[in-house]
Structure 1
Amino acid sequence: MKVVFLTDSLSDLDGVGRYAVRLISAMEALRPGLEVHVLLARKHRPTSADVPGHWKVEVALPPDYFFYMTPARFAVWRFIGTRNTKRAARDAALVHAIKDFPHSLIAVDAADRAGIPCVATGHGTYTIQPVVSDRHKRTALKAYRRFASLISVSRYTRKRLLALVPPEILPPERVHVVPNAVDAESYVEPVALEGGERPWHGKRFTLGIGELKERKGHHLGLEAWARRAARDGDLHHFLVGHRAGDDYERSLAAIAERHGVRDRLHLLGNVSEKEKIDLLQRASVFLHTPVTAADGGFEGFGIVYLEAAAAGTTAIGSLDSGAEDAIVDGVSGLLVEQNVDAVLAALDSVLDDPVRRESLESGGRAHAERSSWEENARAVLAIYDQALAKSSVRDRKKRPSS
């Protein structure tokens, strides 16, 4: 069975890229006859070293900012992307849009033209944004109506989606929650880093991971850390994620400056996968407090919460976000309201109570171990099989009776 996958990357540097690599690899292990053809977006991030050489991978899709293009450019790229995807899907059984709208629009356009089903994954912000956009809503709803199934990475994302999309367009039974997963064993053993010591070695620190943008909520966690650090003289904070050098990044530095702790805030930019694991293993607390941004963006799940849990590091996340699905509150980490006082109280409770911290670390490891890409892949393959069976029934009904 050949499946065409649409994604903006196969990179370790972003959640969608890690999701794509790990899910497809796990499905291939369960179903050895799976033929993988991946279509990437232009200007994609560096491809993971874990991508097998036998996968067919080609750049054939619009860049990541497709959603924001002018209507004329959008139309051109929709045509190009659909043409390229249809060509790839000529001998395929199914198209899977791992990237949200509008790349999923290209996927379903091409699948319809090829006469095969399309399954889409909904990760969060760009599952919801199209259906509240004056410009994109009509087109998005038409696309959602045509998906054979939509995989939501969290109950939170599914709840928000179904509150906005009428059931006659997207019936609830076609929206399946298949939570993100983690290969827990990969985060247990210490990693060997080439090139000697890193800036975080030998330091006591909290850690944040995620692109420096509002919806990731770095400003919330950083304000809480800065207040704590002002009275905790050896506590540092390391922040991993793409640096744009914009107003938001400057505002983060200003928070630390205001509290007199700028010398203990370290903006690392992107790091390697091994460095990320090393950071997660050494951190005192993983502090990732996403918010609902002014533009409506939100965190749909957060694989990195599971990665922190697997590394034995307590995570603090936000309520009213996909963190609700990734963290078992009080067992594998803490969930707090989206305000600084709540984040600071949680941070203090973990740092000041070794017994509680140890309990959360133990609970986090157990939670991560119960998660697996194998189970995720098994659920997705079952969704494929269901979509293909329904497609076969429809095809038989269309044939004239003899």
Structure 2
Amino acid sequence: MRILILSNTLNSASGWGTYARNTALGLRARGHTVRALTREKSDYDDERVWLPEPHHLLGNPFLWFWSAWAIRKAIKEFQPDIMHILVEPYVLAMPFVRLTMKKMPPWVLSIIGTYSVSPLYIFVVRKLMCDAYRRADAFAVLSHYTQKRVSESVVERCGDTCAADAQKRMTVFPLGIEDVPETPQKLDPNCRHILFVSEIKPRKGVREIIKACAEFKRTSTMPFHMHFVGNVPQSNYTDEVKKLVRDLNMESTITFHGPVPRSKLHEYYDFADLCLVLGISDGHHFEGHSLVFLEGNLRGIPAIGPIESGGEEAVLDGVSGYCVDPHKPADVAEKMRWVLEEHRIRPEDCRKWARDHSVERQAECFEGIYEKVLANT
């Protein structure tokens, strides 16, 4: 098959980029010809860098037409059998692509998380997003939790009929991660290191992590350090988080490292004893999954993640880590003790769980979706 994928980037410094890169390489490994249409240049050898920043499509009508022009140009040049939109905001351009093309290839939309829902609550783009749920040939959905949140919102904003029809075209796929060689970790015998990898924002549960760490410090004698790796934006939430660190006297135990290159991130995984992300719902913003848990598990690192989110599907409770209520710091601290002091989670079980989420398995699922769509068009 000739497959055109749309993403803001194929650089693996972001979740979207890692997902897009693994998608392209996984499908290519199965014998398909894959071209990427992106916003940012990467080292992938078949891409066109013509798209705008995806978030800006939510409030700038000019960018709908810019994106439509880029998509139309890519289709005419590449002549794909099928198109897969991996980053949801780009779907807002699809009605304008249709207006300028007599015949379009069938297309699939990935439903990942927040941006599959939030456009439905923005007046200027709600109808465009409802149109996507009516017209996409298929949906590749990252988790059952995401599917549930999307279905509820489509019912509310687009109607029962649209939601029921969209549900029939949804397939939940296993998120694939790239395998890494098994190497000995460089663990610190004098301190336990806990790793968070993402941006500092409310739906990542940063305040909840800090409260849990304070509770663990209160109830345990084990030295530990909490590492937050990822963008630290200038925001009221960041200010609140830093004030909470000071109020709980956690300055010596918590470090905000900011964003790091992918090569440097591997170093943090090398000495981590635990991956901890307590994603929570923040209005229409939610966690569809959590790549960091699987990336940590692949290196034998246990994970603690939240219930009532897509992260719950990234952690095999009691095997690769634990699922907790982010709003109960005592419960989170207890699971931290089980991992860091009692070693109840075995590294080999973590690796086995992660390797069940291979790039090949994800690509095989996508291939099945494409074949079904092409058979019906």
| Fold shared per TM-score above 0.5 | yes
1:11 is matched with 11
- Describe the superposition over 1:333-392 as per-residue Cα deviations: whole angstroms up to 9, x where unpaired: 1001131333222223322312x133xx3322111122211011011012112212222x
1:287 is matched with 276
2:229 is matched with 240
- Describe the superposition over 1:5-51 as per-residue Cα deviations: whole angstroms up to 9, x where unpaired: 111121222111100001110110102xx33322223xx4x73xxx4
2:262 is matched with 273
Q: TM-score, normalised by structure 1?
A: 0.84
2:299 is matched with 311
1:59 aligns with 2:49: yes
Measured in 2, the distance between the counterparts of 1:99 and 1:175 equals 16
Superposed counterparts of 1:274-353, under 5 Å: 274-293=263-282, 295-339=283-327, 340-353=329-342
Q: Summarize the Cα distance change of 1:63–1:171 in structure 2 as closer, same or farther, 3 Å threshold.
A: closer
Q: Retained in 1: the 8 A contact 2:173–2:362? A: yes
2:213 to 225, 228, 239: 225
1:122 to 111, 114, 118: 111
SS at match of 1:119: strand
SS at match of 1:28: helix
Give the Å deviation of 1:290.
Answer: 0.3
Q: Retained in 2: the 8 A contact 1:229–1:236? A: no
Unmatched 5+ stretches in structure 2: none
Measured in 1, the distance between the counterparts of 2:181 and 2:239 equals 32
Give the Å deviation of 1:180.
Answer: 0.7
Give the Å deviation of 1:107.
Answer: 4.4
2:198 to 210, 234, 238: 210
Give the Å deviation of 1:242.
Answer: 1.1
Q: Summarize the Cα distance change of 1:247–1:202 in structure 2 as closer, same or farther, 3 Å threshold.
A: farther
Give the Å deviation of 1:322.
Answer: 0.5
1:86 aligns with 2:72: yes
Q: Retained in 2: the 8 A contact 1:240–1:267? A: yes
Q: Retained in 2: the 8 A contact 1:332–1:363? A: yes
Q: Retained in 1: the 8 A contact 2:287–2:311? A: yes
1:367 is matched with 353
What's the Cα RMSD here?
Answer: 2.4
Deviates more, 1:102-111 or 1:74-83: 102-111
Q: Summarize the Cα distance change of 1:315–1:191 in structure 2 as closer, same or farther, 3 Å threshold.
A: closer
**Code of the aligned partner of 1:387:** V
Q: Retained in 2: the 8 A contact 1:96–1:107? A: no
1:139 aligns with 2:137: no
**Code of the aligned partner of 2:152:** A
Measured in 2, the distance between the counterparts of 1:111 and 1:118 equals 12
Q: Summarize the Cα distance change of 1:330–1:175 in structure 2 as closer, same or farther, 3 Å threshold.
A: same
Measured in 2, the distance between the counterparts of 1:217 and 1:89 equals 40
Q: Retained in 2: the 8 A contact 1:111–1:118? A: no
Percentage identity across aligned positions? 24
1:400 is matched with none
Q: Summarize the Cα distance change of 1:142–1:92 in structure 2 as closer, same or farther, 3 Å threshold.
A: same
SS at match of 2:110: strand
1:175 aligns with 2:170: yes
2:183 is matched with 189
Q: Summarize the Cα distance change of 1:276–1:111 in structure 2 as closer, same or farther, 3 Å threshold.
A: farther
2:84 is matched with 96
Give the Å deviation of 1:202.
Answer: 7.2
Q: Summarize the Cα distance change of 1:5–1:12 in structure 2 as closer, same or farther, 3 Å threshold.
A: same
Give the Å deviation of 1:312.
Answer: 0.7
2:144 is matched with 155
**Code of the aligned partner of 2:276:** L
Q: Retained in 2: the 8 A contact 1:215–1:291? A: yes
Q: Retained in 2: the 8 A contact 1:120–1:149? A: yes
Q: Retained in 1: the 8 A contact 2:319–2:345? A: no
Give the Å deviation of 1:220.
Answer: 1.0
- Describe the superposition over 1:40-86 as per-residue Cα deviations: whole angstroms up to 9, x where unpaired: 23xx4x73xxx43x31x2322221322442xxxx2211011101111
Measured in 1, the distance between the counterparts of 2:94 and 2:184 equals 40
2:20 is matched with 20
**Code of the aligned partner of 1:168:** T
Q: Retained in 2: the 8 A contact 1:8–1:40? A: yes
Q: Summarize the Cα distance change of 1:342–1:25 in structure 2 as closer, same or farther, 3 Å threshold.
A: same
Q: TM-score, normalised by structure 2?
A: 0.89
SS at match of 1:89: helix
Q: Retained in 2: the 8 A contact 1:219–1:252? A: yes
SS at match of 1:331: coil
Measured in 2, the distance between the counterparts of 1:336 and 1:376 equals 27
Q: Summarize the Cα distance change of 1:246–1:305 in structure 2 as closer, same or farther, 3 Å threshold.
A: same
Unmatched 5+ stretches in structure 1: 193-199, 392-402
**Code of the aligned partner of 2:372:** Q
1:38 is matched with 36
1:110 aligns with 2:76: no
1:2 is matched with 2
Aligned residues: 365
**Code of the aligned partner of 1:370:** D
Give the Å deviation of 1:238.
Answer: 0.8
Measured in 2, the distance between the counterparts of 1:254 and 1:190 equals 37
